[in-house]
């Protein structure tokens, strides 16, 4: 089966035999499950259930081979060439590891084979809905394209890749005639359960109502919904894999040990909401802070690198009307409306965009921007689009003393982008929502206040960054844009731009002030971009 080179027989029940014992006629059956085994650079030997292999062999899953895990970060980090394909296999593997560990240590949880298989499938299929260049498509492209009136426009306005993953999973099962019942699953109950595992329990307060609002599994098994997509505190196997895998390919250090979490994970009923939650040993609280710190560092240095956001998104906007994909019934769809047709969306990968860019030459020019940045404590997340447009007009009108040197800048020459860095729970300490247990009382769940952990923890868990881009890339225009930005910041009472200009004054910061990197060294220069430091 393709790259899967080994097969392993798993003995599940006793030998087949029919006879009479103590006056009762009984039959014991024997059957085997062929698990495909392959080697993963992150997790080593990985075994996959036959149903998972059937899912992997479908076109809907194989498309993930052609979607970069980190999107445009590959243009900055040459090692970041890994795809959603191997990440999804890793998440399916870790989901199985965690649920099996809980079943082994706590048989009273009544975790059965169906539960285990459903959790593995959810982990494997959780990213089926990603579009080209991963998060760039759903976060930077779809929100900016004009939304047509009607159901498609409504869908585009609230579209998330998790919802697309559920749609793609339905399409995968239906179009490939997967016989889920042949592997012991009960339909539609288990299908609903798998899809809810992919989505996660979005509203934590909804689970406290009576009766239990989620079909698929009873309230006693609520902890299963925290394995793949944990909306309560963000600790799930999805992060476990991408932290380890992304750090490996980016050449960065991963300080979080997910195997220790799995080793100490324990399900306990919490008095606050009367639900069973996955809890962690109290001594592991420092390890969890390391996990969220790793997440913050990855966002700063790679996930929200300036090349990985506005530049490629602008190229997508330019190419939207020029790239067409054939969908159901032979109908043609462009980049954005393709989300309304699962057959067309199946064909939408990084390759579709890259191959067609040769016929859309003008979109290539758009990815050459100059970038400046400044820190601010403004509540950027609440700023409407009109505020961004007004700021772009104000930047163009902020003509510095001495003029622009013959350069004319308009609002269309500036792009303002807001970026938020946090620990995964907006401005909240994510550990506030984590439950722990102690060695002395392993069946009692409790929270750990931050003052009992360390006095060196962050005082703030969220900050915003304003990035200002110049569409003009010639040196006189870039220098004029710098001057406009400095004057605009002064007029707004904002600090000097982080990337600075020759007119900016130095600060007492101990970190290097360069865009897209939080390391102690200057980041590499990139064609079409320039890192402007305060001392330049």
Produce one character per residue of 106-124: b if its CB has 16 or more CB atoms within 10 Å, e if not.
beebebeebbbbbbbbbbb
DSSP 44-78: EEEEE-HHHHHHHTSHHHHGGGGSBTTGGGGGT-T
Catalytic residues: 161
Residue 435 to residues 27, 155, 237, Cα–Cα distance (Å): 45, 36, 17
CB 486 within 8 A of CB 404: no
Judge whether 286 and 319 are in contact, CB under 8 Å: no
Strand-pairing partners, residue 270, are 275
The three-state secondary structure class of 239 is: helix
At 267, give phi and psi (nearest 5°): -90, 125
Spell out the alpha helix ranges (H) of 126-160: 135, 151-157
DSSP 3-state of 451 = helix
Report the alpha-carbon distance of residue 504 to residue 164 in Å, rounded: 45
333-337 contacts, C-beta under 8 A, 24 or more apart: 335/132, 335/141, 335/145, 336/141, 336/142, 336/145, 336/156, 337/148, 337/152
Q: Which residues pair with 462 in a beta bridge?
A: 422
The 3-class secondary structure across 156-172, one letter per residue, is HHCCCHHHHHHHHHHHH
Q: How many Cα atoms are found within 13 Å in the side-chain-facing hemisphere of 442? A: 7
CA–CA distance, 323 with 90 (Å, rounded to integer) = 32
Read off φ and ψ for residue 228, nearest 5 degrees. Answer: -90, -45
280, 81 contact by CB (below 8 A): no
Measured distance CA(248)–CA(79) in Å, rounded: 9
Give the whole-angstrom CA distance, residue 151 versus residue 153: 5
């Amino acid at each position: 089966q393709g790259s899967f080179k080994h097969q392993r027989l798993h003995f599940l029940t006793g030998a087949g035999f029919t006879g009479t014992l103590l006056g009762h006629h009984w039959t014991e059956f024997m059957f085997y499950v062929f698990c495909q085994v392959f080697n993963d650079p992150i997790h080593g030997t990985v075994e996959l259930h036959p149903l998972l292999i059937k899912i992997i062999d479908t076109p809907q899953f194989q498309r993930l081979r052609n979607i970069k895990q980190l999107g445009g970060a590959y243009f900055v980090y040459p090692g970041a060439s890994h795809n959603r394909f191997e990440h999804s296999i890793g998440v399916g593997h870790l989901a199985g590891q965690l649920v099996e560990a809980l079943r082994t240590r706590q048989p009273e949880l009544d975790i059965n084979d169906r539960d285990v298989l459903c959790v593995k499938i959810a982990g494997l299929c959780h990213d089926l809905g990603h579009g080209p260049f991963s998060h760039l498509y759903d976060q930077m492209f779809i929100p900016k394209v004009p939304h047509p009136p009607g159901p498609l426009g409504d869908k585009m306005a609230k579209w998330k890749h998790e919802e697309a993953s559920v749609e793609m999973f339905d399409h995968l099962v239906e179009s490939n005639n997967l016989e889920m019942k042949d592997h012991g699953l009960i339909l539609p109950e288990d299908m609903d359960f798998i899809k809810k595992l992919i989505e996660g329990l979005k509203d934590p307060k909804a689970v406290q109502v009576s009766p239990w609002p989620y079909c698929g599994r009873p309230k006693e098994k609520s902890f299963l919904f925290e394995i793949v997509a944990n909306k309560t505190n963000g600790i799930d196997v999805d992060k476990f894999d991408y932290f380890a895998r992304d750090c490996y390919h980016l050449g960065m250090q991963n300080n979080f040990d997910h195997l220790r979490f799995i080793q100490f994970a324990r399900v306990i009923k919490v008095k606050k909401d009367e639900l069973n939650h996955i809890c962690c040993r109290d001594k592991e609280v420092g390890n969890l802070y390391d996990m969220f710190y790793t997440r913050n560092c990855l966002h700063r240095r790679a996930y929200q690198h300036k090349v990985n956001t506005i530049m490629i998104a602008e190229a997508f906007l330019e190419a939207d009307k020029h790239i067409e994909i054939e969908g159901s019934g032979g109908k043609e769809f462009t980049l954005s409306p393709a989300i309304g047709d699962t057959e067309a969306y199946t064909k939408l990968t990084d390759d579709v965009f890259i191959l067609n860019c040769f016929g859309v030459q003008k979109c290539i020019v758009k990815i050459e921007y100059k970038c400046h940045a400044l820190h601010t404590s403004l509540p950027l997340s609440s700023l409407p689009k009109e505020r961004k447009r007004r700021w772009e007009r104000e930047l163009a009108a902020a003509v510095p003393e001495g003029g622009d040197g013959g350069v004319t800048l308009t609002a269309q020459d500036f792009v303002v982008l807001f970026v938020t860095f946090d620990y995964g729970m907006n401005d909240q300490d994510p550990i506030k929502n984590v439950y722990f247990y102690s060695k002395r009382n392993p069946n009692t769940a409790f929270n750990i206040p931050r003052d009992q952990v360390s006095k060196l923890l962050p005082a703030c868990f969220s900050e915003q960054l304003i990035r200002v881009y110049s569409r003009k890339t010639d040196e006189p225009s870039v220098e004029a844009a710098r001057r406009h930005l400095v004057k605009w910041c002064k007029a707004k009472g904002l600090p000097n731009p982080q990337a600075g200009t020759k007119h900016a004054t130095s600060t007492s910061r101990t970190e290097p002030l360069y865009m897209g990197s939080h390391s102690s060294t200057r980041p590499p220069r990139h064609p079409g971009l320039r890192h402007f430091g305060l001392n330049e």
